[in-house]
Amino acid sequence: MQSKSKKRVLKGKEHKRAGKHANNKARLAAGRHLKKHAAKKSSHRSPSRTREKYNAFLGKQREEASRREEMLSNISKISNSVENKMLLKYISTNVGSRSGDILRALIKEPKTDDDIANILSVKVNDVRRMLNVMNGYSIVKYEVNKDSKGWLVFKWRIDRERLEDFVGELEKVPLQEDRQLPSECNDFFICKKCYPEQKTVLPFDSAYESDFSCGSCGKPYAMLNKEETIALFNETVTED
């Protein structure tokens, strides 16, 4: 009797195992079927999806290429204006001997006055003064942002269109004519000590921002009216 009951128990266990095995087989078969079905679906969709992705990729590539081309075109135009001989002569005489180098430092990207001073090994006060003078001529401009510590940071850039206009005006009129001075300004300032070397003349706004004192030697500026400034320009041109 015991052996029969044992046999029944064993048979019952075998049936259970067989049932589980069958269930597992069924699940595996169902899983394979679903994967196969999904693979078929994906294979049907993949060409169109691939085309969409490829077209999107090409679109991004074209946009990036267009941006690069525009950037290189702007750099080339700015560089041509900055290297204009009449411009370099004019700003060297009326802004400062290193003003051309400052513009060259700004050709490719905006920079802070500290960055420019470090690149050119020039006192940052001299750089600021020359930038302010060129800002008075509207050939450079600045953006103000805050750094991580909350300090104001001035980033300078060349205004390409204004610079091209300025160069165009220089090419139209002789250097000594007063039309090249800011038309809205009648008072100009120089440092008598530094002018023979730096040849810097500041319009009123730039002198005001410098607190009417020279950033190089600290001496107060001397004021000139427009006629005196033109005469000074003529003397400088004659000397050269």
Q: Three-state SS for 225?
A: strand
Average of per-residue pLDDT values in the chain: 78
Task: State the Rg of the chain over Cα.
Answer: 38
Question: Model confidence over 203-239: pLDDT tens digits?
Answer: 887 788 778 888 778 889 999 998 888 888 777 655 5
Instruction: Provide, rounded to the nearest whole percent, the portion of the chain with pLDDT above 90.
Output: 27
Return the domain boundaries, the chain.
83-239
| pLDDT given at position 232 | 83
Question: Model confidence over 113-124: pLDDT tens digits?
Answer: 999 999 999 999
Return the CATH number of the domain spanning residue range 83-239: 1.10.10.10
| pLDDT given at position 214 | 84
Q: Above 60 in pLDDT, residue 145? A: yes
Mean pLDDT of 46-67: 77
| pLDDT given at position 223 | 92
DSSP result, 113-179: HHHHHHHHT--HHHHHHHHHHHHHTTSEEEEEEE-TTS-EEEEEEE-HHHHHHHHHHHHHS-TTSGG
| pLDDT given at position 176 | 47
Instruction: Provide, rounded to the nearest whole percent, the portion of the chain with pLDDT above 70.
Output: 74
Euclidean distance between CA atoms 104 and 79, whole angstroms:
7
Q: Helix 124-136 crosses helix 113-120 at what angle (to 10 degrees)?
A: 120
CB 160 within 8 A of CB 74: yes
Whether the pTM exceeds 0.85: the reply is no
CA angle (159, 166, 79) in 5-degree steps: 55
pLDDT category of residue 175 using cuts at 50, 70 and 90: very low
CB 178 within 8 A of CB 230: yes
Residue of 223, 165, 136 lying closest to 128 (CA atoms):
136
Mean pLDDT of 114-139: 92
Residue with tokens 């060409």: 47
